[in-house]
Amino acid sequence: MEPVTIALALAKAAGVDDWLKEKISGTVTGKVASKVIDLAKSVTRKDTPEEALQTVSTNIVYANELKKQMLQNEHELKMAAYEDRKDARQTYRIHPQQADKIAERVMRYNLPFIVGLVIINCVVLHFFRDDAALLAAVSNVLGMAIKSLFDERKEVTGFYFGGSMDASERER
């Protein structure tokens, strides 16, 4: 299994997968996964990530201890996520073409998609106003899609205009 997959499974077994994603602002990456796996191996005293995952998944005491350790090491997990983003900025300086192409597409197409989804939501509200369960389900899905599209735009804007730079780079 890949480290990121194991780290997510460990966080889920400990009941902190959503917390972890929130604290690191998104996707679990290599350095964050390594920190989570190291904590799990330390807690379970197992040599491999797979053994640690098996132990945490089957033993609530170890799951709770891993949760406690992850909460106590929140700062280290955030720093690992920052280090991964820092590496992304370094890579961008060398190979910007693909990132620029993706960013251009996000900025060009996300807003029309958002407008389209809002229109679809309005149509659904009109035609399905008598079916509360279906209306709620469709509106929630559309709302999540709209939020995700807005978040993508925010991330691109932040990357290009300093949101993901550290202070020393912004002052230049």
pLDDT at 116: 96
Same domain, 124 and 143: yes
The confidence score (pLDDT) of residue 93 equals 67
Distance between CA 164 and CA 33 in Å, rounded? 20
- Residue 19's Cβ-count burial label (10 Å; 0-12, 13-18, 19+) is middle
Q: Are residues 64 and 105 in the same domain?
A: no
3-class SS of residue 85: helix
Q: Is pLDDT above 60 for 68?
A: yes
Residues 52/41, Cβ–Cβ less than 8 Å = yes
- DSSP annotation of 165: S
Render pLDDT for 12-47 as a digit per residue (tens, 0 to 9): 899 988 888 777 766 677 788 888 899 999 999 999
Same domain, 73 and 103: no
Specify whether 62 is located in the same domain as 101.
no
Note if the pTM is more than 0.85: no
Contact by Cβ (8 Å): 6, 49 = yes
113 and 36 together in one domain:
no
The whole-angstrom separation of Cα 68 and Cα 14 is 9
pLDDT, one tens digit per residue, over 118-168 is 999 999 999 998 999 999 999 999 999 999 999 999 888 877 776 544 444
Q: Which domain holds residue 76?
A: 3-90
On whether the CB atoms of residues 170 and 162 are closer than 8 A, the answer is yes
- Domain count for the chain, please give it: 2
Q: Of 45, 73, 90, which closes a domain?
A: 90
Query: Do residue 73 and residue 107 come from a single domain?
Result: no
Same domain, 63 and 104: no
Examine the domain organization and report whether 61 and 119 are in the same domain: no
Q: Tell which of 74, 90, 106 closes a domain.
A: 90
Pair (77, 63) in one structural domain: yes
- Of 90, 106, 124, the position where a domain reaches its end is 90
51 and 79 both lie in a single domain:
yes
- Could you tell me if 56 and 14 are in contact, meaning their C-beta atoms sit under 8 angstroms apart? yes
70 & 104 share domain: no
